[in-house]
Structure 1
Amino acid sequence: MTVKIDVLLIAALKMELDAAQQVFSASDTRPGGVAEWHSVDQDKPNPYIWGVYQMDDSQSFRIAFARPNRMGGDETGSVASALTEKLKPFALVMCGVCAGNPDDAALGDVLIADRTFNYHEGKTTTADFQRDLHPRDLSPIWQRAAQTLTPQGLPSYGAPSEDDAAFWLMERLYNGADPRRHPARQRYFPERSGSWESTLARLETSNFVKRTGTTLELTDVGRDTVERSMVYNVDPPEQLPFDVLAGPMASGDIVVKDGLTWDMLKAGGIRTVIGLEMEAATIGVVSRTQEVPEWVVIKGVMDHADPKKDDRFKPFAAKASAEVLERFLVGRMSARGAPAEEKHTVAAAANWRMRRNSSGLVKEIGAIIEREAPHFSRSFELAYNAAMEGYQDCESAERLAKEVEQRLGEKLVDERLKPKKRTVGQTKHRTEIKLQFSYSGRSVMARLWSTGDEYLGEARQGIETGLGIYKIYPEDRDLTPASLALWCGRSDDRSFGPRGVYSFPDTADIAGHWVEARPSLGYREFLNRSSAPVAEPDLDCDFYLGEMDSVVFQKSRKWVPHGRGIAVDVRSRTIRCGSFHEGKFASRAEITRLKF
């Protein structure tokens, strides 16, 4: 019997797969990891290994590793397609090495593709090459997680010494770059620390560097010092002050070392690419065609795709990318819940979130209610159906928003990159982009506010109405990806509803029917139990299905259970059916407690 897998990891090269297996394996020096790997189908075309990654005492996920015989999109696509069809993973992921844009990334930096495309797709004419881009985007939730990921504390991350910083400055000058404008300068010379001035003065005094006007250059002694290190110091670094960057990653069919591809992409209107490699676009395509819910490609920078390309940083980049992927997956899988076993029972599974598919656990709870508390069966059915309708409209809105993004292309990217500013209580000064085109006979638009909020979707007479996505920063929160909330579904004259999904910054969902911008019937999650709307022991639950409304609680408006419904505590395996009033069980209300 094929074991259900939560995460399928594909690596393009054996050394990348080996690095990932080393990182994900359990050891005596740290908690967590895979204690035992199992080999499957080693004598068949698509062999793989799998193991249970233990996050803590109660949560784990199953992960499988595989690789093609050769690198490249076609080979990777064959393996990824076959194994996703067989293993049905929740997430398809990749780690390894890539080339980094020298304007954005330093050697050793780790890049997360929030969008990927094949830049070799298009048409060649007698005059030029006309690109036909088909970008694939990370889901909004995973995109937010990628933007907030940091490398501090990972084994490959290390703060530089004074000598490291001095040699880094000399290497930049040797390569013809201005270290003052290099993206990694602040990691070696923090602002207002005085380290830049003192290091530069020391190098000048030692006759390694000289200054002519505003130009820095190496002396003969400095150049010889760098070249001597290049000859004698051939081993990869063990630690670097690397950064984690999220942005578009372009895939091609060849290994690039001409140093011209970055300018060629800019000339073609693609200015924001942070990485080049050969397989990321394929991962995005396979995730879509095989209907894998989530995907991500994370790769370390081993070179800048220029004539100076060599393999010294390759082992470091492979290992660092695997470490970043591990940290990313642990965060995402922890938020999702532990993996489902072959039989959906509460004892065997904490993977209860409905998300965009029908959770087997939620269905099982419905069967229990129908059998043991049939007078609440209708309430469950109505709320469940409302939630699924909300998720269906959410999916439709996401597809439409992607179409708007593709049509706007770089224009939308440029607007998103403009500085944003938020002041509590500020009126949302609006910057508008309007694109008139027919999408199934509908008028659509993109609208961006200077406060960072945005809308992509249908419009009627210039007003957000119909299917679409709102990205919203609450007025009392900082303008950071971690504080971003999402509305995904239908809107009526800028009001949420009649159906859709609201995702809080902690990714907890409210899905279902909405009336006048407030939930009326559906599904509500409490991922962070301390964020429950009311300090009420009877309501301490993981999710709720039933009627809801909006109430004022502690001077702020909350969306809470209100009416007939079912509260489910997965941890204690308890179902509570009853009537609710402003987030609490109503006084004198019947409360039916069920165990499962």
Structure 2
Amino acid sequence: KSGRFKVFQGDTLQYKPSETIVQNMQRTSTLYKNQSMAWMELKPQYSLEAQENWVLSQLIDNKKPVEQDNFDEKCPDWSDVILRLRKRGYIEKPVKLTEAGIEYIQDLLLLNPRGLPAEPEFSVHVAPIATGATVTEDEQIYNKLSSYMRKVLGLDMEGSGLAASADSYDMPFIFAKGVSDFADPYKDDRYRTFAARASAELLILLLRNSESLFTRKEDKLPEIESDNMDSDDIVRLLAELYPDFDETQVLWERAGGKLSDLENKSRPYTRWHTIWKKVNQGSEVTPKALLQIIQKDNPQCIAIKSLLKAYHS
């Protein structure tokens, strides 16, 4: 009977922030070092992996870890460490190295002759994140993902929903993820609080140093020569002015239309392409009536004024 196992169900869609946002992210990835980092105190001093290695290094030297002067410092999570080492098959009861444990720690010390490897320093990366419906406890997950996502550095469950929602409204989005585990069978929650705080701190720093990401609505409108607007220019302009479907419905009713005439197409440009084609093909709402309502909402929009003047002539 074959055993069941979980798999990572990746989303085949890919979402990418604008080059401007990426550039600001890359700048922030080093800028944080010049800021106050009191929040770093939330980071556990030693990971469970580091504590495991210390315990194994004591055992291979025939020392009892609990009798060492620096035991409380080097292994503050003794109970969790012992359970994990047993799960890995590195020790057996009571606290005795197995053949697998001896082989592991000997190899580790051979590769690190000057002592156990130091804890990795905190760092910030700007790279793709794989996202999907479920996340598995799989030590080989990154090897599998790299076969079709070469630069992926993170694994997450919520990212695709955020990106898809933002993309459907043509909105910029930023996704900050604090890595708290390695998606393997030995993951724990010790770094969750620190990871959440770190991602929030970096996101806030990014926003504070990215004034160019914040623009007024009128500043985001396409640069269009109002005297030379074609159908595509008009659709882009309307999609920028009314990206939200509910707002579009209200506008349509105010212009004399029925809500049943509109289709809820997710992308603003696609929606307005359909609407503008409809009003120019004899719908209940005329281009002039629609533009008059839009001008009331956006009295400073020169392009709408010019367009409405053309329909008056």
Query: Shorter-chain TM-score: which interval?
Result: 0.3 to 0.5
* Larger helix share, 1 or 2: 2
- Higher-Rg member (1/2): 2
* Larger strand share, 1 or 2: 1
TM-score (norm: length of structure 1)? 0.26
